[in-house]
Structure 1
Amino acid sequence: MEEQLQNSGWRGSADVWLNAAYEALLETGVDGVKIQSLAKRLNLSRTSFYWFFKDRKELLDALITQWRAKNTGNLIKQTEAYAETVTEAMLNVTDCWLRPELFDAKFEFAIRGWSVRSPALRKEIQIADEQRLDALKQMFIRFGQDERLADTRARTIYLVQIGYISMQTSEETSTRLQRIPQYVEVFTGQAPDQRELDRFFARHQQ
């Protein structure tokens, strides 16, 4: 154990290798996530990789697990966060689109690009889409909207955001923030009150 700790500097760690894989995926796609190229990026020996992962597939699986936990997990949590009104609930979800630590749009884009060549990953994405849409739908149902309208509103919100990601829309944060009250009204059918907006904007001050 002592020897392992002493050598941990040159071996790296599972997180170090996973973070390097994440960066490579965003920069060059899944073809860039190769053990040798990651070792070069990290200035570590190729063999040190095998202290933490059995093979490249296990590393790729870890990336997918990270994406699932971060993007799907956090979005669902935001739909379930405390809110007194449907507009406040919508603002909680909107936090995801403005805070990469909650929902990583670049990661989402890279995963969806990777899925073009991976039927198994396409299935993972289909499952994630269904889970996210259902969470949004249930959010509206909790605030008294009927199931059909809740489903339509959920799809409107989600497809708009996936469109932002797929089109790699470039938009200043200040511009997007200015549009938030109108987005909330379009998505929920109600205008957020000023207190809700004040709390929301306080969370996103530059």
Structure 2
Amino acid sequence: MHTREAVVLTKNSPSTAPKNTIRGNTKTTRENWLKEAQKVLIEEGVEHVKVGRLAKNLAVTRGGFYWFFKTRQDILDTILTNWMDSKNDPLTRIINDKNDTPLDPLIRFFSIVVHEQSYSPALDSAIRDWARTSSATRDAVDLVDDRRIKALTEVFLSLAYEQKEAFIRARILYYHQIGYYAMDVHETKKQRLNYLPVYFKQLTGFELPNEALQKFKR
């Protein structure tokens, strides 16, 4: 597992303008531009994230963009930086309660990927596609993947697996989920919950407690 201390995106750091400041007489905020750029990235790919396109979608002039971002690359760097931020990534915060039982972090991981409420698999997939054409984005993806696998490895270690097996189990669980998204598997929520106990046992080596299963179904 490779460890990367930092990822340099471009020579210029992303704009540090306040998130929702309205500048001049524009009709938009910085957050409006970011949300629209992220939407286009997810739906159409990075090559379509262009200033003119975003301005048209927001029904404003291109000039409004430059109140908040220096260049197109600036907004792309901001999206990537936000995605990389561990504070925004629930998959790296599965170990967060000193009162957890040993299985609670794994139950939390499954809850995140089943309910998709605090995590966007669509954004993950879009950034992975972007990484095919950008070495900086590839480095960012590798860093985030390493961080998530490290968190899962720690969970399996706490469940008394040896180091190597804990690491491999972490990779199997994580790569399984990434592959699920990459294949764009379509299942109803009912189907996913029906399969959940089997997936949990096969991927973790433990039975999913019935109490946890009932919480998933609420």
TM-score for both structures, normalised by structure 1: 0.87
Q: State the aligned residue count.
A: 197
Name the CA distance, whole Å, in 2 between partners of 1:67 and 1:100: 15
Q: Percent same amino acid among aligned pairs?
A: 29
The Cα offsets for residues 51-108 of structure 1, whole Å up to 9 and x where unpaired, read as: 111111110011112222379721011244553132x322200122123332211111
SS in 1 for 2:89: helix
Name the CA distance, whole Å, in 1 between partners of 2:31 and 2:156: 37
Name the CA distance, whole Å, in 2 between partners of 1:70 and 1:49: 27
Name the CA distance, whole Å, in 1 between partners of 2:89 and 2:158: 19
**What aligned pairs does 1:1-206 form with structure 2 within 5 A after superposition?**
7=24, 10-69=26-85, 73-81=89-97, 83-86=100-103, 88-202=104-218
**One-letter identity of the residue aligned with 1:22:** Q
TM-score for both structures, normalised by structure 2: 0.83
1:139 deviation in Å?
1.1
Q: CA RMSD in A?
A: 2.1
Gap regions ≥5 residues in structure 2: 1-20
Instruction: Flag the 1:154–1:5 CA change in 2: closer, same or farther, 3 A.
Output: closer
Instruction: Flag the 1:119–1:149 CA change in 2: closer, same or farther, 3 A.
Output: same
**One-letter identity of the residue aligned with 1:85:** P
The Cα offsets for residues 15-60 of structure 1, whole Å up to 9 and x where unpaired, read as: 0000000111111101111001100000011101111111111100
1:6 deviation in Å?
8.7
- Residues 79 and 89, structure 1, Cα contact 8 Å, conserved in 2: yes
Instruction: Flag the 1:40–1:195 CA change in 2: closer, same or farther, 3 A.
Output: same
Moved more, 11-20 or 91-100: 91-100
1:140 deviation in Å?
1.4
Gap regions ≥5 residues in structure 1: none
